[in-house]
Amino acid sequence: MPAVKVENLEKDYGKVKALKGISFEIKEGEIFGLIGPNGAGKSTTLKILATLLTPTGGRAEVFGYDVVKDGDEVRKLISYLPEEAGAYKNLKGIEYLQFMAKLYAKTGKSYEKMLELGVRLSGLGNRLNDKISTYSKGMTRKLLLARALMVEPKLAILDEPASGLDIINAYSIRQTIKQFAREKGITFLVSSHNMLEVEFLCDRVALINEGVIVETGSPKELKEKYEAENLEEVFMSIVGKEGGFQYG
């Protein structure tokens, strides 16, 4: 059974078709990237899988549970990090992690173990004793990623996890994701418009453009198929042939 199964998924916002019948599967323990330009339908797809949006058509399953009919069960298995997620700025970093651990510890994982993992994942050290309002964007993002992963979900859904971060913080977040997939067997669905970054992170990717998935495969397979040096070139080769969006 795949970790995620999406079949002919559609989403309309009035007259605007954000998703036009996309399909893909994610294997358990895989880091899967959904990549494409802004407005391609990435965030809409992630919100549907996180049970925050209802699709207009098609269906999606997470570990066999339908995201519409079995939303409560799906939410027990996932952790979702939106692109524009924020933290409680008046709390200290450690207080935020303590608060979140108390919310999730009822799932059976001990509060202490969860908090210890969150502290380690954040990598913020003594800065956890400072208010979140004093954090840089990179520090806040690392705290939020720690919150998303310390609950050890079966599926982590991360929308632009390294968006706007400097090289050091973006690298740290990528390494954390890889480590968790390898050591914990957690499945990741990561969206990004940064194709070069995702190339170093993901086992497989789906290229999405204007609500349509135009290609799926491992970065290596796609580069070989299109005789390209990187995924940006692969994407441009595809949308160029279709007369689609000009990425840049």
In the chain, where the domains are located: 4-242
Q: Is 19 helix (H, G, I), strand (E, B) or coil?
A: strand
Strand 78-81 with 155-159, pairing? parallel
121 CB burial (10 A radius; 0-12, 13-18, 19+)? buried
6 CB burial (10 A radius; 0-12, 13-18, 19+)? buried
142 CB burial (10 A radius; 0-12, 13-18, 19+)? buried
pLDDT at 242 over 60: no
Are 73 and 65 a contacting pair, CB within 8 Å?
A: yes
Q: In the CATH scheme, what is the homologous superfamily, with its name and number, of domain 4-242?
A: P-loop containing nucleotide triphosphate hydrolases (3.40.50.300)
For the CA atoms of 161, 73, 184, 41, what is the dihedral angle to 10 degrees? -30
Which of the two residues, 169 and 227, has the higher pLDDT score? Answer: 227
pLDDT digits (tens, 9 = 90+) for 107-155: 656 899 999 999 999 999 999 999 999 998 889 989 999 999 999 999 9
Q: If we measure between CA atoms, which residue out of 83, 58, 65, 39 comes closest to residue 155?
A: 65
- pTM to 2 decimal places: 0.91
